[in-house]
Structure 1
Amino acid sequence: ILLKVPRGEHVSHPKVKYYQSKKIIIEADSKSAYHLDGELFFDNHFEIDILPGKLNFIYNPSAKHYFLNTKKIKIGAE
């Protein structure tokens, strides 16, 4: 799938969820690590307001993440 991403051909794959949104909200049952402008933070609630055409976001929930210490994570878009 990864090789299809630069051409945008990955969005039709059955394991890909594709959203277009002005805002992304991530909630987890415990604090998780995230990086913002080179700084490391921990929280269980994260909101992103998106400027049009300025952010591409890829997340693989089935991958092993060394920083993910939560059993439940919810990602949604408004």
Structure 2
Amino acid sequence: MSQWTVTIPTFRMIGAEPVHGTQTWIVSADLPQQARDLALAAAATDDAMRHRRGAALDTTAIDVAPRERDGSPTACL
């Protein structure tokens, strides 16, 4: 099983100003699609939504990258 860094873009409005951000998950999975699914399940929790202050997830632009031993992400898939 490999470790993956899954980054999900977020979006919310503060008044009339758009605010873009990301929410990142480190997950263990055999395949990138499994890592994506695990991160999406984690992002759907109430705690995750509170952490991103209610921002919506942009599930069309999810980035899944394998992690190196030092914990930093490598190339995007």
Shared fold, TM over 0.5 = no
- Structure 2 length as normaliser, TM-score? 0.27
- Structure 1 length as normaliser, TM-score? 0.27
More helix by share: 2
